[in-house]
Amino acid sequence: MSDLVLHNYFRSSTSHRVRIALEMKGLIYRYVAHHLRHGEHLEPGYLSVNPQGLVPALVLGDGTLLTQSLAIIEYLDESEPEPPLLPKGAVGRARVRMLAQMIACDIHPVNNLRVLTSLRTVFGAGDQDVANWFRHWVNEGFGPLEKLLAGSQETGTFCHGEAPGLADICLAAQVTSNTRFSVDMSPYPTISRIHAACMALPAFQKAAPQNQIDAE
Amino acid sequence: MSDLVLHNYFRSSTSHRVRIALEMKGLIYRYVAHHLRHGEHLEPGYLSVNPQGLVPALVLGDGTLLTQSLAIIEYLDESEPEPPLLPKGAVGRARVRMLAQMIACDIHPVNNLRVLTSLRTVFGAGDQDVANWFRHWVNEGFGPLEKLLAGSQETGTFCHGEAPGLADICLAAQVTSNTRFSVDMSPYPTISRIHAACMALPAFQKAAPQNQIDAE
């Protein structure tokens, strides 16, 4: 795969996921930064690339637009099979997708920048309200996630066995995002252990928000 | 596949998606209803099945728990390949997953019952505030979805060609859910046309909320 362009924001958790997958696959890409807090993703130039005006968006060499982090990551996994980000069997794949979506569908969407901004503008939420909201939905999701991980023999060094994959990507990006709202991680020893295992890997280090060109 | 049990609520949009997929695959399942508005999903009996206390959850014949509607649907598609719910090529698969996730990650999670309830309890939102919130996020997502569908030659009778699949499942469930908040569908002629094509099919009819045993 060549001439990949990733429309991106260093702090966006969904952008972070895609960067980890690109690094794990060893793919080179051009990093185009859009500063979400300055509204750069809503400028006409970017809306003509991605009408949803969200990051991440991956543009392939032939101009094909791919959005939605999980769809992009599964595309990368199908196009560049090594190292695999999903196990081989259907039940294992369902488990990894389930763990990933517990974060990607139930935690992150309720806590992303545009929703937190709406809480402020529509309901007059202040900093403390926003932080409480963020932590509430993390805890609602991480409680059962911890239980499912700690209670399954499928869990290994990573969410599913001894190699990192799709669920670990979502877990690592979410735990990183949590630090901005001082989420107490002490109730989540398994999640914390897996996060540490991820962060020991070069791909996860390279993809981390603070190591991007637009980091503040 | 035998002895499938679907933990379910007639009105839940994510439950609705899984029911459509089960009907499309012609799979028989036992329907166990949990009344979300009465909090039945948070009772200890169900939490011992699914620690997240959400519906849908599919329990396989050997007791394996699968949650998260998209993970369940991809599992069904991998286990019972006919009729396929995703196209064959990686780019087409990415497109269908992208369209599905524009609904499943960007619209539905912000508008589901537990989030709307939190707006009421945390921020004192009233019926009108909740309805405005719901419609806002639908419009934020349906605007670009309409553009992507109307502007692509890949779009046919359904979201991707001439057969319904994963994106159509999410689209149909979301449009059904919209009716409860009187979303104006006139800006979305392509989405409306695809929804009508879906509802002409027996699988979509059988899976509809009003046709379930717990419908009110």
Mutate to test the interface with A, among B70, B79, B105 (most CBs of A within 10 A): B105
Q: What is the pLDDT of residue A42?
A: 81
pLDDT digits (tens, 9 = 90+) for A123-169: 999 999 999 999 999 999 999 999 999 999 999 999 999 999 999 99
Mean pLDDT of B141-164: 97
Residue in chain A nearest B142 by alpha carbon: A52
pLDDT digits (tens, 9 = 90+) for B52-97: 888 999 999 999 999 999 999 999 999 999 999 999 999 999 999 9
Query: Which position has the token pair 């519906």?
Result: B55
Task: Please state at what angle helix A127-150 crosses helix A166-178, rounded to 10 degrees.
Answer: 150
Residue extent(s) of CATH 3.40.30.10 domains in chain B: 4-83
Percent of chain B with pLDDT over 70: 100
Q: How many CB pairs under 8 A join A and B?
A: 124
Report the alpha-carbon distance of residue A136 to residue B108 in Å, rounded: 18
Q: What is the pLDDT of residue B9?
A: 95
- Cross-chain Cβ contact B102/A129 below 8 Å: no
- Cross-chain Cβ contact A75/B60 below 8 Å: no
CATH fold of the domain at A90-204:
Glutathione S-transferase Yfyf (Class Pi); Chain A, domain 2 (1.20.1050)
Q: Are A168 and A174 in contact (CB under 8 A)?
A: no
Report the alpha-carbon distance of residue A2 to residue A108 in Å, rounded: 30
What is the separation, in whole angstroms, between the first and last Cα of chain A? 30
Residue in chain B nearest A68 by alpha carbon: B98
- Cross-chain Cβ contact B125/A123 below 8 Å: yes
**B130: Cα within 13 Å, side-chain hemisphere:** 20
- Cross-chain Cβ contact B148/A51 below 8 Å: yes
Top-tier CATH class for A4-83: alpha beta
Percent of chain A with pLDDT over 70: 100
Q: Which of B94, B109, B129 sits opposite A106 (nearest CB)?
A: B109
Mutate to test the interface with A, among B97, B107, B142 (most CBs of A within 10 A): B97
Q: Which of A64, A66, A101 sits opposite B71 (nearest CB)?
A: A101
Instruction: State the DSSP code for A7.
Output: E
List the structure tokens of A43: 């400028």
Cβ neighbours of B149 (radius 10 Å) = 23
Q: What is the pLDDT of residue B109?
A: 97
State the smallest CA–CA distance between residue A12 and chain B in angstroms. 14
Q: Which residues of B touch A70 (CB under 8 A)?
A: 97, 101, 105
Q: What is the pLDDT of residue B125?
A: 97
ipTM given for this complex: 0.97
Is the confidence at residue B153, as pLDDT, over 90?
yes
What letter represents residue B133's amino acid?
W
Q: Which residues of A touch B122 (CB under 8 A)?
A: 129, 132-133
**A124: Cα within 13 Å, side-chain hemisphere:** 4
pLDDT digits (tens, 9 = 90+) for B184-195: 999 999 999 999
Cβ neighbours of A67 (radius 10 Å) = 27
Q: Which of B75, B115, B118 sits opposite A90 (nearest CB)?
A: B75
Report the alpha-carbon distance of residue A50 to residue A70 in Å, rounded: 16
Of the candidates A6, A2, A4, A3, which has an alpha carbon nearest to the alpha carbon of residue A67? A6
Determine which of B11-15, B42-46, B108-112 has the lowest per-residue pLDDT on average. B42-46
A146: left (phi over 0), alpha (psi -120 to 50) or beta: alpha
Mean pLDDT of A104-119: 96
Average pLDDT value for chain A:
96
What letter represents residue A103's amino acid?
I
Residue extent(s) of CATH 1.20.1050.10 domains in chain B: 90-204
pLDDT digits (tens, 9 = 90+) for A28-61: 999 999 988 888 888 888 988 898 888 999 999 9
Torsion of CA A105, B87, A95, B20, to 10 degrees: 70
Q: Which of A74, A105, A141 sits opposite B94 (nearest CB)?
A: A74
Of the candidates B60, B52, B62, B45, which has an alpha carbon nearest to the alpha carbon of residue B14? B52
What letter represents residue A4's amino acid?
L
Q: Which of B51, B94, B124 sits opposite A75 (nearest CB)?
A: B94
Mutate to test the interface with A, among B106, B114, B117, B133 (most CBs of A within 10 A): B106
Of the candidates B81, B59, B54, which has an alpha carbon nearest to the alpha carbon of residue B72? B59
Q: Give the rounded distance of the alpha carbon of B158 from its chain centre.
A: 16
Q: How confident is the model at residue A101 (pLDDT cuts 50, 70, 90)?
A: very high
Q: Which of B68, B136, B141 sits opposite A105 (nearest CB)?
A: B68
